[in-house]
Amino acid sequence: MSQILWVDDEIDLLQPYIIYLKGKGYDVTTATNGEDALDRLSESVPAIVFLDENMPGMTGLETLQEMKRLHPEVPVVMITKSEEEHIMEQAIGEKIADYLIKPVNPSQILMCLKKHVHQQAIVSEQVQQNYRQEWGDISYMIDTASTIEEWQAIERTLSKWDIELENSAMRSLIEDQRTQANAAFAKWIAKNYEGWFSGERPVMSHDLMKHAVFPLLDKGEKVLLCVIDNFRYDQWKTIQPLVSECYTVRTEEQYTSILPTATQYARNAIFSGLLPLQIQQMFPNLWVEEGEEESKNQHEKELVQTLLDRYRRRESFNYWKVNESDFCERVIQQLKGSQAPLNIVVLNFIDMLSHSRTESKMMRELANDEAAYRSLTLSWFRHSPIYELLRLASEMGFTLVITTDHGTTRVKNAVQIVADKNTNTNIRYKVGKALNCSSKNVFSIEQPKRVGLPCPNVSSSYAFCTGSDFFAYPNQFNYYAQYYRNTFQHGGISLEEMIIPLVTLVPKR
C-alpha cells in the first residue's frame, strides 16, 4: 500500500479526496502546517507528498526546501491557488515533481500518483506486453531474413528491446531471441559473404568514406568524422539524446564491417578505401602483419591521404586519435583554429573499456552485462571532453558523422582450436596454418584473397567465431575459458560486431 502525506492548512475541506484515495487503496497521512509535516516525514517516509503552497507559519516553499534536504528522493507535488510565475519557477527550482492549481479534482490527483508513484511499474508492464505481442513477429523476421536490409532491421529491433527490457523480468527472452538471431545471421553470412567481393554488396568498411563523407564535401559542407572504436548500435541509441542537444539527425544508417571485425582490418579499410589485401599490395609500408609487434593502426593518417590522392581530392584534413582526456582538450583548441573542411577524430575509450573490463575484476563488476556496458558508455560521453568537442563543432557549423569500425559482443562459450605457434592472439578470429576447430559453428575462409584478406603464408586460412563463442587452446583450456567468459570481444561474426551505426547529423541553429 502506497503512503501519501497531504499537507494543507484546510485539510478538513479535503476529506472527500482523502476518502476517495483510501478507497483506491492508498494510506493517507495528513498535516495542517509545515512543522507537523516535517514531524510526519521523520516518522515515516511516504511515497509522495501533496503540499499546499500558501500556509501560515512555514510557507509551502520553505517546507519544500526542508523536505528536499531530508528526503530528496520523495516526489513533492505543489498545490496552490497562485499562478504567479516567480512562485512556479522557485518551486521548479527546488525540484518539485509536479505543480497543480486549485481547485483540483480527484482525477488530477490520481494522475499524479500514476505518474510519480506507479509510472515505472506501469511503463514496465506496458513494455513487456508490447514485447509479448511483437515476439512472434521478430522470430518470423529472423527466420525469413534474406537481405542485409532485413538484418539491419532485426538489429535495430533487438537493440530497441535490449534497452527497453534491460531491467525487466523478460530480459532473458530478448537474450534468447538475440542468440537465435545471431545463429541465423552467421549462417547467412557464411552463405553470402564471399559473393559480395565479386558482385553486388552492401556498404562495407572500404566504402564508408565514398558513401558518407565525400558527398558532404562535394556539397561544400565542413565535416567532422567521429570514429568511435568498438561502438555498437545500442550504444549509439544510448548517447543519442545527449548528442541531440546540439545536433539533429539528418540520416541514420547502418553499414557492414568487413571480416575480421577487428581494428587492424576494418579501420584501415575505412581510411584507405581499400580492402586489407589491397593495402598490403599497394602500400606495403603502411600495412602491419599479424605477427609484427608494432601498432596495427599507426598509419591511419597516411592511409587517408592515399585515399584522397587516388580520387584526386584536394581537401586538406586534420586527423586526431584520442586516447586521453588531456589530448582531447588539445584537439578542441586545434579545431577552433582549423580551416580544413575534413576533420577526423578517432575515439578509443570504448575499446579501452572493453580491454580493461577483460583484465580488471573491478571493471567486470562495473560492466557485467550489456545494460551496464551501455551505462558506462553514457557516463563516459556525458563527462568527457568529447561532449564539449561536439558542442564546439556544432557552433562552428560542422556536419557531424558518427560511426565505428566494428562493434563488440559478450562472449560466453569457449571452443577448442588447434593452431601453430604463429597464429594471432585474437580470441574471436584466427589466421594461420592448419587451423583445426572442434566447433561446427565456426566460419572458415580457406582462400582469403577471394575476400580481400592477406595471406601470411601460402596455406594460411581464417576462422571466425560466431554468436557468443570464443577460441581457446587445449592447453589450459579451462583457465582461459573462465578468464574470457562474459567479456566483450570483437573480430568474429555477430549482428553486434558487423551491423554498425553510421549517422549523419547537422548543427542545431
Are residue 368 and residue 318 in the same domain, yes or no?
yes
Cell numbers linked to 44: 515515516
Cell numbers linked to 457: 603464408
* Single residue among 96, 117, 138 that ends a domain in this structure: 117
- Identify the pLDDT of residue 96: 82
Split at pLDDT 50, 70, 90, the class of 88 is low
Are residue 259 and residue 135 in the same domain, yes or no?
no
Domain limits for position 45: 3-117
Are residue 40 and residue 132 in the same domain, yes or no?
no
Cell numbers linked to 333: 583548441
Are residue 316 and residue 382 in the same domain, yes or no?
yes
Residue 438 lies in a domain: no
Residue 440 lies in a domain: no
Peptide bond into 276 cis (omega under 30): no
Look at residue 90 and tell me whether its pLDDT is greater than 80.
no
Are residue 75 and residue 106 in the same domain, yes or no?
yes
Cell numbers linked to 318: 586534420
* Single residue among 152, 169, 192 that ends a domain in this structure: 192
- Identify the pLDDT of residue 119: 81
Percentage, residues of the chain above pLDDT 70: 93
- Identify the pLDDT of residue 496: 98
Residue 486's region, left for phi above 0, alpha for psi from -120 to 50, else beta, is left
Residue 156 lies in a domain: yes
List CB contacts of 367: < 8 A, sequence separation 6 or more.
Answer: 353, 357, 373, 376, 488
355-370 pLDDT tens trace: 655 566 666 666 678 8
Are residue 328 and residue 342 in the same domain, yes or no?
yes
- Identify the pLDDT of residue 91: 64
* Single residue among 146, 161, 192 that ends a domain in this structure: 192
- Pick the range with the lowest mean pLDDT from 32-36, 119-123, 425-429: 119-123
- Identify the pLDDT of residue 507: 97
Global pTM reads: 0.86
343-399 pLDDT tens trace: 999 998 877 666 655 566 666 666 678 888 898 889 888 888 888 999 999 999 999
- Identify the pLDDT of residue 86: 64
Long-range contacts of 358-362 (CB under 8 A, 24+ apart): 358/484, 358/487, 358/488, 358/489
Are residue 95 and residue 156 in the same domain, yes or no?
no
List CB contacts of 506: < 8 A, sequence separation 6 or more.
Answer: 247, 248, 250, 399, 400
How many angstroms separate the Cα of 266 from the Cα of each of 45, 182, 186, 198? 55, 20, 18, 19
- Identify the pLDDT of residue 177: 97
Contact 476, 484 (CB under 8 A): no
Look at residue 472 and tell me whether its pLDDT is greater than 80.
yes
110-154 pLDDT tens trace: 888 888 888 878 878 888 899 999 999 999 999 999 999 999 999
Look at residue 60 and tell me whether its pLDDT is greater than 80.
yes
Are residue 291 and residue 331 in the same domain, yes or no?
yes
Are residue 228 and residue 365 in the same domain, yes or no?
yes
